[in-house]
Structures are given as structure tokens and as C-alpha cells.
Structure 1
């Protein structure tokens, strides 16, 4: 039987779309490329949602108003963002949690000693896997049909209208409307090679990249839409949510536990033993995702995070222990770094450290002076043995090349929005994220556009005009008002 709405994808954005479409009365079929045990895509590896709020709210402390959220996003993207869509995402983030709770998502209370993230981000109890499982349970209880191991190879589109999807197995599935939420192309090694090209030695830098999330985001539909169907594109194929992760991490699905979080507490050097960026630029949740790209631009796409014993206990400990030594020359030798160059770097850094009271919870005045690159906060000499070093490589979470859309989540062809084909999640995140990242914003984008895409897909199935994301926000506000009355 032909469904009203076909949802292609199995992560947060796809599930939000399926739930919203079903709540609107549409019959829904969801196709997930992965087996059931690996369902959920990159969402299974997430931990939190960045949320706007004007006052303390359940699991969120203090306030994080729209303008501060916007300025944080503006800073990390360097202005490469579509402001209207970004602001809609921000506003939606302040009202979506009650809807999420109705579908079984639980949030954990704020943790002591984690003020910055407890103020800006709501953490999922049990992490992203628990969120994904809750959404699947709710979807199945509501009658959403789910099929696993069902990757889609191409779409039938006529004059900008979705007609049917063709699976990799050759099955044709027609529907009245469709939501695309199948992720980026970060798992496609050939496409990464194409995007990043060769270096001067004829090597492919991207061969050294690790993929933090799912192996199933191959970008097949994204390429089909862009190249074969002529959908409007947005974003740079080399831009991505890219984090510095342990060089020993697995090729796929290492997730959060592979991240190295001590960067701001020490220095980072390349394989020549030289520093290359300000490790103390800003709080780690705002700037952690720049470090993957920074390392990607270094020789051999590798870096080394160096700390001393003063840093121990101040960051999330990694799964794999770092190299440990009683002296800095010994540490350099263990890491395979040129000892003399490494020692020149560390001695120059130690001599340049200035400032007063070290405080990793604020932008303190511990800085370097007369050093390039500077370290602008949390700079204190690395002198207390034992010393630790972690080799890091670029860990790609998701890519930003995607489909251009608007506040209805419609896919656009030649500037004209489709009447029945919508997009959400990583396939359109480049509309908000031209570059850079700040913790939890990917889930904010996926939740906002997943919900409006699902609602509009249900409306398209009934041949009703689309609504905007602002309408969803208004509905949430009205529901919140009635709930508190």
C-alpha cells in the first residue's frame, strides 16, 4: 500500500519528520539504510541539544537568550550562515523539549561543575542512543512503518515533484510526498578524496581522516539530487563538523569517547614539533570542532596534544591512555617528534606565559606575550611532571555540502521550492553551518527542520499549502501556554 509520506533516513531528523507526519494524520514509511542494531545514524552518538532560553528552565540553568546563541553561531561560522534560518532554528530550540518528552526523550539534570554546558545545552538521559530508541518506540506505537537495510539509490522526480524512490535492491516505492534525511557524505571515501584532492606529494589528505559516526552516510542520494536531478546546492564540500580525535580511534563509529578534550589545557604541535593555532581561543564547547580541520591542514594530518600533570582531572578522560613521560624530551621521543624542535617550542611557550589566577571556567587572564601563535587564555607553563601526549587526527562527524532550502524545508530546483519533497538534518545543515560548529547545534537543526519537513510532507500529501518553521514555533508556544495554565 502506498504511504502518504516516505521518510528516507533513520536518525534524529528523519524520526522527527516521521513523528510529525504521523501526528498530522499521514501514513508513514521510514527507510533506514543501516541494520536495526546500527540504526540512528550519527544521532546515536550525540549527547545534547543546544537550547535558547530567557530564564532557568527545567534542566537548563541561568539564561541563554536568542542573541547570545546567534552571536555564538555567527562567531564559529565566520558569518557563513543563512541568518533567517539560523534564527528560526534558535527560536525552535527553546520550545521543542516538551514535544520531545511526549515521545519518550528524557533529559538529565545539570551536572555540578559543568556550568557552561548546563546553561546552553540540554543533555539526553542515556545519550543519543536512548533518544533514537525512544523515537523509534514512539513511531512504531503510532503506526509508522520502519524498514531496515533499505538504502535508497535514486528518486523519480518530475518537474520538481517527488514521484517515487528506488532502493538499492531495485524496489520502486511511490508516495504522495517525501522527506530526505539521509545524512551527508562523510563515510564515502571516494567523495572525500574528490573534495580534498591531492597534496603536493600526490597523496590524498583525506585518507588520514577518521569518521566519528556511522559508516552508512555515503551521500548517494545527496549526489543524485545535486548531479542528476539539478537540486539547488549550498555549502563547501570540504567544510564539516570535524574534531581532533585520538589517532588510534576506529575508522567508523568511534563516537564521543574518541575525542581528545585537553587541547585548551596545554599546547598542540604538528609532527615538526611546532604549534600552529591558539589553543585558548574560547571555551571548549564553542571551539572544539575547529581542531579537526586545523589538524587536517597540518603535514600528515596529525597533531599532538601536550599537557602536564596540572591538567589532569580538568577534562573528560579519553578511552585510550596517552603517552606518559617524566621529562619533555622523553615524551617527544615517545611520540616520534623531533626532540630539539619540540623543546624549542615548549621552552618558548613556557617563557611567554603571563597572567594571574588560572581558572578554566572563565576566559581568564593567563595568556602568552610575544609568541606567535598566541595562547590567549589558560596559558600556564608546562613544567609539572609527569607529562602526557595524545596523537590526534581529523575526525569527521558530518559534511556541510547539502541541499538549499527555506523555512518550509522544501528542496529547491532552480530557485523554485518543490511542492512535495522536503529535506532535514545533515542534508541541509549547510544552510545554517557554512563552517565551524558549536556543541549541540546539529541536533537543534535536525529537530527543527525534521519537524517542519514532516508536517509539510503530511500537508503535501493532502495537497495543502506548506507551513513555515515559525508556525511550528508558534504552535509549541501555544501548547506551552496551555500546559502551564
Structure 2
């Protein structure tokens, strides 16, 4: 065999798997499709990890118990989640940081503009890029072999048993394998196929921007689902999809392209009409539904409108908003019908029932007699200057993936493979059927990356997989 454990992928989940397998004594080869400078996939764009904790822990304040975490996940997924696997991820998030620190990851308190997450999310010092670099340094020091610009386009499987992978025509054999190669969000043809053509004759996917890596083409995922009939899970149109600045680059814009002022104002579509409750819940629990909402609007574009009262209450985006001294002027600058825009804004302003405004709580500022309602943080938009941000759907990662269990094994007709495992975005659909809440993707990748790595090392040694999350002492 060329190696004991082959890890396909180069982001957080893949690195966690490689480190765990190497710590267990296995020879490990990691294949990253991107060049070294772009290594780490979407993990390089992350900021934090959602963590369960029953009491204050260094950078985490107060408590965030298992049941609250579960209820938050249940709410955003609408119940489309595997509770057993989800709770396993939640529990694993309470103890993994000790292991992460051992591999060079440092944590810091959240920035003041990171709303509502000081209690729930542990932030990486230096962000996701620093985390990825720390893991790569640790992997190299431990003797993990790393190859860049090594995309895997197909693998050999015999009756559910992994045999080999092919990279640029080269056949690489291994005793076991971990699949952690991401989703298919940067495959425009597959996105078009998944989303199809809408009733307006539009192809919505043509207007999607990819927040993350350009290297997640889903080639291996499609090969597994179509050629090997691996058990799949998830809706191909479901994704971590955020409303981002329409001026963002096509790929790798990352966190700085997000527009975080949605809950402080109103959002209108191309027809200058509102279409959803901007104040439904705290922004970290709702930001990832807005990409899909915008994708369903004409032209896949919308506009976040705020006034001067909102300035300083959200993390400013990298590009300044369109600024105007009056609302009609703002509508003109945004290319919106002025009469419809003013009717929408006047109706909203007249419906606002202003109580005690508090953007750190689910306050009592709401609308009455308005559809859709704004249930919190509703204040008239009446204090110039006014600002508008054009929004497009920004896809972070897709949820279509491979079904698994608490051993992280890939399944064939319901039967788990003895030596093929999956982690990260390629199996996140088991936990995330739809929706998202900040930091949970890193929780899933860390938990299942470590499980997959442990069990791949056991399989390489001729032993059976262990069930359940990896436990660490804090």
C-alpha cells in the first residue's frame, strides 16, 4: 500500500482526520486539490466554532447547554436533521478545544461587532486561515505527507471496500480512506442543474456568488453518488447560502462580503417590495436563510435599506453602501421605482410600534398590520443619511452529501463500509437538512473529522470502527 490512511481534502475536517489518524500511529497521506497558497477550502474563511458549555470557559461567557444548542439547531433546520448525530456533534463541541490547542489553534474573545455570539461561539485568533495554517504545521511536524494540486476524480471501490484513488492519472492505494473534499458549490453546471429554471424563465444559479473556495467542484461526490451508488442524503438546492454584497468577487470573498445590517432596517426586492421578516430572530441564527430568500426574488437581487440610526450597530462590510440624503434619492441611485419604494417605506414606517429598542435582545419594537411583519428591532427609517446595499445569494457550501452514522462510515445500501469514511461538508447534510446557525459547520467538521480519522486508523490496523464521538479531557 502507498499509505495506511488516505485523506482526500484539505480543510478543517480533512486536517482533523489526518491528525487523528497520525496520532493513532497510521501513515497518512493528505491530498489537497488546491495549490498551497489556497489550501484549506472554506475553513480558511471561517471565524469560530459553536460550542456547548455548562459554565463559563475562558473565551466563552455564561453557559450554552446541550438542550439550548439542540433547540437552536432544530429551529433553523425545521427538524430536517439526524438528532443522534446532531447531539453527538453538540457534545463533542464542548471538549474539542483542548485538542485543538494542542495542535496550535488559539482562541480569542469575539469582536465587539460580532453580535450575540460571545456566549455560543469560540473565535479563532487570526481566523480560519490561522487555524488551517496551525493544523498544517502540526500535520507536517507529525509526519503527515501532504500533496497540493492533487484533485481526486475517481476511486476504486469493491463491494463497499475502498481500494485506491486516482490523482492526475496516478493510482494511489491505501488501507483506508477519509473523504473530506467539500461540496459542489463551485460547480456552476451542477448548481444550474439543481436549481433549474424558474417560472420567470430565469436560471437562478447564474446569479449566485460563491463565498468560499473555487476548488469545491463536487467531482468526487458526483462520482460516488452516480458511479458507486453510495447512499446519499440531502437536497441539492439546500446550502449555507448568505445574502452578500452584490459587488463581491465570484469566489473567495469570504466573511467580509456579508451584509450584517439586515435586521436593523428593511430589505426590498427589485420591485421595491419587502418579502420577509427582517427581525425574525437574532442575526447569527438567521443570516444564512437570506441567501436563499434573495435567490427566490426576481433577478436574484435585493437591497438592504438602513438609516443613520443603524450605523455603528453592525460589522461594517468591506464596501461602503450607496448613500443618499433622502429616501427618493436612494431609490433613484439603486435603480428602484421611486413611487413603489416610497410606498413600501412609508407603509413600513407607519406600522412601526417602537418600544424599548435593544439590538442585543428580542426587543418589543415591532410592526402592526404589516405583511410581512417585522417582529423585532422595527424602527422607522427616517433619519438621514440613508444607505442601501445590493444583495446577491452567496453560497458557502452545499448540503447534498453522503449518508453516515456515528462511526463516520460511508454506507452502501444501508451497510457501512469497513474502511471508507466521510467528514465535513461531504456529510454535513446529515445534520443540516436546511438552514444554518453560526459556527455549526466547524463543529460538524471537527467532530466528524476526528471520528473519521480515528476509525480510518483502526481500519488500517485491521480493527473495527468505534461508535460515538472522540472524547477529550478538558
Aligning the two structures, in what range does the TM-score lie when normalised by the shorter sequence?
over 0.9
Q: What is aligned with 2:310?
A: 311
CA RMSD of aligned residues (A): 0.9
1:377 aligns with 2:376: yes
Q: What is aligned with 2:453?
A: 454
1:228 aligns with 2:221: no
1:427 aligns with 2:430: no
Q: What is aligned with 1:207?
A: 206
Separation of aligned partners in 1, 2:111 and 2:149:
38
Quote the offset at 1:221 in angstroms.
Answer: 0.6
Separation of aligned partners in 2, 1:264 and 1:324:
19
Quote the offset at 1:202 in angstroms.
Answer: 3.4
1:312-353 Cα offsets, whole Å, 9 max, x none, are 000010111111001101100000001111111000000000
Separation of aligned partners in 2, 1:182 and 1:234:
16
The answer on whether the counterparts of 2:353 and 2:379 sit within 8 Å (CA) in structure 1 is: yes
Q: How does 1:294-443 map to 2 (within 5 A)?
A: 294-443=293-442
Q: How does 1:26-425 map to 2 (within 5 A)?
A: 26-111=26-111, 116-167=116-167, 169-425=168-424
SS in 2 for 1:406: coil
Separation of aligned partners in 1, 2:77 and 2:202:
29
Separation of aligned partners in 1, 2:397 and 2:228:
23
Quote the offset at 1:468 in angstroms.
Answer: 1.8
Gaps of 5+ in 1: 481-485
Separation of aligned partners in 2, 1:176 and 1:239:
34
Query: Taking structure 1 as reference, are residues 245 and 5 closer, same or farther at Cα in structure 2, changes over 3 Å only?
Result: same
Query: Taking structure 1 as reference, are residues 301 and 114 closer, same or farther at Cα in structure 2, changes over 3 Å only?
Result: closer
1:1-31 Cα offsets, whole Å, 9 max, x none, are 6110000000000000000000000000000
Separation of aligned partners in 2, 1:366 and 1:89:
35
Quote the offset at 1:222 in angstroms.
Answer: 0.4
Separation of aligned partners in 2, 1:249 and 1:51:
30
Q: What is aligned with 1:483?
A: none
Separation of aligned partners in 2, 1:301 and 1:203:
9
SS in 1 for 2:157: strand
1:114-152 Cα offsets, whole Å, 9 max, x none, are 572110000000000000000000000000000000000
Separation of aligned partners in 1, 2:220 and 2:231:
14
Gaps of 5+ in 2: none
The answer on whether the counterparts of 2:113 and 2:313 sit within 8 Å (CA) in structure 1 is: no
Separation of aligned partners in 2, 1:114 and 1:284:
10
SS in 2 for 1:119: coil
Quote the offset at 1:86 in angstroms.
Answer: 0.2
Quote the offset at 1:357 in angstroms.
Answer: 1.3
Separation of aligned partners in 2, 1:207 and 1:40:
26
TM-score normalized by structure 1? 0.97
TM-score normalized by structure 2? 0.99
The answer on whether the counterparts of 1:449 and 1:469 sit within 8 Å (CA) in structure 2 is: no
